[in-house]
Amino acid sequence: MTMPTYKSERLFQFCNGLVLVLFCVTMIAPFIHLTAVSLSSVKYADAKVVYFWPKGFNLDVYKEIFGLERLWRSFGISVYICVVGTFLFLLLCSMMAYALSRPRMPGRKLVLKGILVTFVFTSPLIPNYMLIKTLGMENTLWALMVPNAVGAFSIIIMKTFFQGISAELFDAARIDGSSEYNTYARIAIPLSAPVLATLALFHVVGLWNSYFNALIYLRDKDLFPLQVVLRSLIIASDASLEATGDVPTTATPEMMKAGLILVSTVPILFVYPFLQKYFVKGAMLGSLKE
């Protein structure tokens, strides 16, 4: 009776691993294709005969891309938005979630119900724009960070995590004379690193890839983040090709698109390895019950 069970488990593990490998290949293949196109020569890229390996290797695309001063400025702005915006997000959400996790908070249930309402009813674009303009945040980077600094889903996740921390720790801190602010900063936050890292990763990716809010709230081109600049560069590249009808000698629009996509994607990929160990713990939140 033991052998069939053992064989079935091995078969399941093999099939499961095969499916996961196929999923990984489907996600990695476009990235490899873009890399090959961006590193190929113009004649091969224009003929669309490049698939997963560069033909006529050259770095002209990246020399042209990295020579754009406008691109470097927008890159710095995107990094600033991600760092400051994520800090505000973690600070505000964690403070509100910690307060809601304390049973002695006055009006706790009423506030929680109000947060849950936002899952069903969302604010339309025009009222959001009018609010940003009234607060004086139009054409400032705050318009890209403040509106999304508090999220109902993140607050509920953090609240659940804080409630899972042993109550004896908070009781001991209270007996020792610790204030709620001190307990929050020295006990709750250090113990909640997994959930903070997980939510921070999601928020950073969202801020990095966002460009719609920048198009709505920003007027000064010097404040445009990376995604908006990349979009304008791609449109300009296509427009110049349609106007001339000639094949560029250094890089085709497809090569520029591939290079620009890689330039905008690679930096955010380096964030994950630093948060991986916390991300795995945070993803398991609520999966085990004592």
pLDDT < 70: residue spans in the chain: 1-6, 47, 236-252, 275-290
Instruction: Fill in the DSSP letter of residue 287.
Output: S
Alpha helices (H) in the chain, listed in sequence order: 2-38, 42-46, 60-66, 69-101, 108-120, 125-134, 142-145, 152-164, 167-175, 180-183, 189-191, 193-209, 212-217, 226-244, 253-269, 271-283
Any idea which residue has 């809010």 for tokens?
Answer: 213
pTM metric for this prediction: 0.78
Number of neighbouring beta carbons within 10 Å of residue 206: 15
Kindly give, in sequence order, each residue whose CB lies less than 8 Å from that of residue 228, ignoring residues fewer than 6 positions away.
74, 211, 214, 215, 218
pLDDT at 231: 80
pLDDT in tens, 8-24: 788 888 888 888 888 88
Residue 57 to residue 71: CA distance in whole angstroms: 24
Rounded Cα distance, 156 and 206, in Å:
19
pLDDT (0 to 100) of residue 280: 57
Q: Report which of 217, 214, 216, 239 is spatially closest to residue 228, judged by C-alpha positions.
A: 214
Q: Name the 3-class secondary structure at 210.
A: coil
- pLDDT given at position 288: 42
Which two structure tokens, joined as six digits, stand for 257? 């698109």
Report pLDDT for 91: 92
pLDDT at 230: 80
- Find all residues with CB under 8 Å of 144, minimum gap 6, and list them: 81, 85, 207, 210, 213, 214, 217, 218, 225
The pLDDT tens digits for 49-89 are 777 787 777 777 888 778 778 888 888 899 999 999 999 99
Model pLDDT, residue 88: 93
